[in-house]
């Protein structure tokens, strides 16, 4: 399965250039969600599936914001989406100024990781892993400065390599 290896779930393997937008243009939470949904290649050309995903993300945000603080949000559906996808999906978006996202700290969000999973086990593993990575202020700062999508992928890969080292 893509993104899974002997060391477990590897988020960097789920990223690709087409799943990364370094200049989100949206000005509202819902528009950010729509822009992120547009980064999922498996849903391209399927507007009804994109709308279902958008509604699932929007419902989750209405329940409780996925803005975790420090300028980061982890949009995801409340439950796994086996009817929409068969593999985990990860997309990254960066907003130049930040968007009001009802984050727990009240600050605008600039870094968005959209997490999608076909089952609950992968869903929870993705959330746990990205949350752990993004606790590192140095990674958040580097993601804000990354000049290219490839640089974002490299940063996530390096952070995961550090996480995978024994004793970390």
What pTM value is reported for the model?
0.92
Measured from the Cβ of residue 152, the count of other Cβ atoms closer than 10 Å reads: 23
Structure token pair of residue 63: 């329940």
Per CATH, the number for 4-160 is 3.40.930.10
pLDDT of the residue at 167: 61
Note if 76 is an active site residue.
Answer: yes
pLDDT of the residue at 81: 83
What is the mean pLDDT, run by run of 10 residues, along the chain of 168 residues? 55 96 97 97 92 96 96 92 88 97 96 94 93 96 98 97 76
The dihedral of CA 94, 42, 10, 56: what is its sign?
positive
pLDDT of the residue at 4: 46
Using CB atoms within 10 Å of the CB of residue 141, give its burial: 0 to 12 exposed, 13 to 18 middle, 19+ buried: exposed
User: Quick check: helix, strand or coil at residue 47?
Assistant: helix
User: Quick check: helix, strand or coil at residue 63?
Assistant: helix
pLDDT of the residue at 6: 34
Measured from the Cβ of residue 161, the count of other Cβ atoms closer than 10 Å reads: 13
pLDDT of the residue at 3: 47
Which residue is catalytic, options 12, 76, 95, 123? 76
């Amino acid at each position: 399965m893509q993104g899974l290896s002997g060391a477990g779930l590897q988020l960097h393997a789920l990223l690709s250039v087409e799943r990364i937008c370094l200049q989100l243009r949206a000005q509202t939470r819902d528009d950010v969600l729509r822009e992120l949904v547009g980064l999922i290649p498996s849903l391209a050309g399927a507007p009804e599936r994109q709308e279902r995903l958008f509604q699932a993300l929007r419902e989750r945000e209405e329940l409780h914001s996925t803005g975790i603080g420090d300028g980061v949000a982890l949009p995801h559906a409340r439950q796994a989406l086996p009817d929409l996808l068969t593999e985990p999906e990860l997309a990254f978006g960066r907003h130049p100024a930040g968007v009001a996202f009802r984050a727990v700290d009240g600050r605008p969000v600039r870094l968005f990781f959209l997490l999608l999973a076909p089952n609950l086990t992968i869903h929870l593993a993705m959330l746990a892993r990205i949350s752990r990575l993004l606790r590192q202020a140095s990674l958040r700062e580097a993601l804000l400065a990354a000049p290219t999508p490839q640089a974002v992928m490299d940063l996530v890969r390096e952070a995961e390599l550090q996480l995978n080292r024994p004793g970390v």
